[in-house]
Amino acid sequence: MASGSYKANAFFSLLLAMLILFSGCVNIDTHEQFYPNGRSRVVTQIYTKNLISTLNRSGFPLPQNYTSSDWETYFNDECNSLSSRAPGEYCHMSQGWAIIDKGRVSGDGYALNSYEAFPYTIYELSIFEVPVPHMEGFGSVGNFRVPKTIDFSIANRTYLSQIKAAGIKYDYTISVPGEILEYNAGVQADGNIKVDAIRWSSRAEAIKVKSRELNLQQIALIAISAILIFLFVDFVLLWIYHEWSRRRRSARKRKILEEAKKARKRVFRKDERLKGSEVYKAPGFFD
């Protein structure tokens, strides 16, 4: 793993060294996209078209095994084989740009925390290490002395002076989940934060960004819960109404039966009185 990382870094270092030597100025553009799960994706672009053209025109000696080829082929091969030397890192050449794609996780130079504030999820990002390549060893760039390390970390003052002396311009774009609320570095544009990484590094201060995002999952859960509660209450009310109606009908029926029973008793008593009157009649008395 260490060997693979060294080889990957060596290629990147050599690329930067050549850019500085032949172009005099290096423009590096890094876009880091942060995700809610705490991971991030870092895409770094370095313009190499002018460098390759200059190397080919000058007849600068090619590395071993490429003497019968050209510099464009060399850089393409080195770029395309990056993932085999450094797992998790990918590189491809596109329209004169070397595009390097890698990932980071929270704790590796930054911290992304979140908490709920219904209906939003609030994210607080602190970037302690800006993806700025170390410049150690570039003082002997004319001899192509490749640095032993090219870690992405915040530039200290020693590295910073070398970076500035080399004329490197490093634009760092930050994308966070949701809507940006607060930030302490750079400018906001197109929903992102754009920072001059070299200038900011001299402050030795963490970049902080606060954002918020609608928690659709929580909103959906509450909406479903509200619907279920409504249906439950509706069911209970319907059951109560049905039970009330049933008892009312039952009470009315009992009342009707009781009234009918009382009516039958009244008729029975009347019949009994009539029968009693007939008993005291003397048969044939009026005949």
Q: Distance between CA atoms of 265 and 77, rounded to whole angstroms?
A: 113
Average pLDDT rounded to a whole number, residues 129-155? 41
pLDDT: which is higher, 161 or 55: 55
Nearest to 133 by CA among 222, 19, 9: 9
> How many angstroms separate the CA atoms of 174 and 192, rounded?
6
Amino acid found at 37: N
DSSP 42-86: EEEEEE-HHHHHHHHHHTPPPPTT-TTS-HHHHHHHHHHTHHHHS
In the predicted structure, residue 150 carries a pLDDT above the cut 50: no
Q: Residue 34: what pLDDT? A: 95
| 246: confidence class by pLDDT, cuts 50, 70, 90 | confident
Percent of the chain with pLDDT over 70: 69
Q: Please name the residue that has the structure tokens 């109606």.
A: 245
pLDDT of residue 142: 35
Whole-model pTM: value is: 0.65
What burial class does residue 13 get, using C-beta atoms within 10 Å of its C-beta: 0-12 exposed, 13-18 middle, 19+ buried?
buried
pLDDT for 216 equals: 82
Q: What is the pLDDT of residues 170-188, one digit of tens each?
A: 889 999 999 999 999 999 9
Instruction: Please write the tens of the pLDDT for every residue from 40-54.
Output: 998 988 887 877 787
Q: What is the CA radius of gyration of the chain?
A: 43
Q: In the prediction, which pLDDT does 70 show?
A: 83
